[in-house]
Structure 1
């Protein structure tokens, strides 16, 4: 959550110049599309990235004020607390510029926003490639990870109301051929999913349902490994999470029965296509 996306990109490029981060092929940079000088900021990002700018990401999940994370609102949205940017004319003005500049948009929002605003908004921009982050962020479908006494929550029946909102939004987005989805942050949907075979099975069904909606050629694996397994996997919703090897093995299990071509799309091909990687 950098204060300046262009400064963050410049910082990474400085490291690359001295032999670090030389593997970076493209940037999905942070940029507030509602700002008045958004066109100038996009040009600054292109320059800072040495023309490796592929897209923009701006965290939008908002179902009201942050309230300490009790809602499905990300702490980053406290910058515009309680305002749904997907309904903002200023945001749409900036979004239109991305289509003009052949830049993609990474969409992180709450499931209800997919239903109420995202699908209708992105339908207006069919040439703008959009990637839904974190499977659309269904929230705690099986409840909390641990009960008050520290015992693992035994529930394996998903919250049907939450699931239906997510399904409605994801199906509406899947109907738009320019929309893709990342398979990531599994622990946000099911905190502590790694603890039991039963929870893993529920998560597997959720991942496969997502792929069924969008197709393997519009889904991509993403690690989201910014801090550690538990935090990165579930946004702090649990104290446990898979390590990198475990997660890769789990994805292999999730994708059992898919063809070699489908699996290659999921692990690499979709991302290469979406982010214009050579």
Structure 2
């Protein structure tokens, strides 16, 4: 058992019979951003998640919208609320809303009315290479999308930002204008190391975002750095991200089951444990749980302050 409580800041659950997920629907191809997702195109339940996380002193988890058909976004949230009522997970929900939707005000109001909804995610990754893009154009440049982003404050919603580094400088200017909206960068900022200046662009983009006090970053999504990632590849990136944002603004997350396409759950969490091992106990408590507690308003309270005394040489130490 790990020695600090763990709040997983980014998980997905799905019931493919109840909700339609276009990206989990055949036919599958290997040339998209995730590669083939056939291996995870089945129900993923709380019981399966608990089994994966069994070695990590998990006390809570944040569910992030899982790419449901936009017409079923509210259905996904309501299903998750029912799951949480029965299973005590997820602890909080980051729901979907298309911020450029003409009806976005009503959509945000409906999502925010659900008890566990704390934020919104709309994946906005755009790249000049269409094989990398999740969107046909850079939505974040549109006046409609930016107006929708501004509405998040009214509903006390954070925003989970999944973008590419090339989009970050312009997004930093927008985020700076809306300092009351917490923005949590997904998956280490998704560096595109194959680009000619990919690492430098990622570093510059993160530096621009990290300069804003209302931003934080999830240490997750290592398979998006490279499907065949190694510790030697990702450890310097993790160190840079922590250095830029500081332990008070970094959140540990598994991105399961998506990231299990690339490596087992324990391997993903293991490299994050190694990357944070040299920090003080309070700093590790922050990265592994307290930051998620604060940003997503989880209400876990004393569960994050319990010191775990049990040790096992076969279990990870955070």
Whether 2:238 is the aligned partner of 1:207: answer yes
Q: Do 1:181 and 1:219's aligned partners in 2 also have CA atoms closer than 8 Å?
A: yes
Q: Do 1:26 and 1:277's aligned partners in 2 also have CA atoms closer than 8 Å?
A: yes
The residue aligned with 2:292 is: 271
Q: Which residues in structure 2 correspond to 1:249-260 (within 5 Å)?
A: 249-260=270-281
Question: Which residue of 186, 211, 218 corresponds with 1:133?
Answer: 186
**C-alpha distance in 2 between matches for 1:184 and 1:204:** 12
**C-alpha distance in 2 between matches for 1:39 and 1:125:** 17
Whether 2:315 is the aligned partner of 1:261: answer no
**1:270 to partner: Cα distance:** 1.0
**C-alpha distance in 2 between matches for 1:95 and 1:166:** 23
Q: Do 2:165 and 2:189's aligned partners in 1 also have CA atoms closer than 8 Å?
A: yes
**C-alpha distance in 1 between matches for 2:153 and 2:84:** 28
TM-score by length of 1: 0.78
Gap runs ≥5 in structure 2: 1-66, 300-318
The residue aligned with 1:63 is: 127
The residue aligned with 2:39 is: none
**C-alpha distance in 2 between matches for 1:220 and 1:102:** 20
**1:98 to partner: Cα distance:** 0.5
Match of 2:161, SS state, is strand
Q: Deviations over 1:167-225 (max 9, x none)?
A: 110000000000111111112213312xxxxx312311110110000001101011111
Gap change, CA 1:65 and 1:182, over 3 Å in 2? same
Q: Looking at both structures, which has the greater relative contact order when contacts are Cα pairs under 8 Å and sequence separation is at least 6?
A: 2
Question: Which residue of 109, 113, 137 corresponds with 2:167?
Answer: 113
Q: Deviations over 1:217-263 (max 9, x none)?
A: 10101111134612xxxxxxxxx41x222222222211131111111
TM-score by length of 2: 0.69
Q: Which residues in structure 2 correspond to 1:1-278 (within 5 Å)?
A: 1-2=67-68, 3=70, 4-17=72-85, 19=86, 21-47=87-113, 49=114, 51-64=115-128, 66=130, 69=131, 72-74=132-134, 77=135, 81=136, 83-115=137-169, 117-139=170-192, 141=193, 161-193=197-229, 199-227=230-258, 229-230=260-261, 240-241=262-263, 243-278=264-299
Gap runs ≥5 in structure 1: 144-158, 194-198, 231-239
**C-alpha distance in 1 between matches for 2:84 and 2:240:** 39
Which structure dedicates a bigger proportion of its chain to helix?
A: 1
Task: Kindly tell me the number of residue pairs found equivalent between the two proteins.
Answer: 231
**C-alpha distance in 1 between matches for 2:144 and 2:100:** 5
Deviates more, 1:55-64 or 1:2-11: 2-11
**C-alpha distance in 2 between matches for 1:247 and 1:84:** 30
**C-alpha distance in 1 between matches for 2:250 and 2:77:** 26
Q: Deviations over 1:70-106 (max 9, x none)?
A: xx312xx2xxx1x211111111111111012211000
After superposing on structure 2, the runs of 4+ consecutive aligned residues of structure 1 that deviate more than 4 Å are none
Cα-Cα RMSD: 1.8
The residue aligned with 1:236 is: none
**C-alpha distance in 2 between matches for 1:119 and 1:8:** 30
The residue aligned with 2:62 is: none
**1:26 to partner: Cα distance:** 1.6
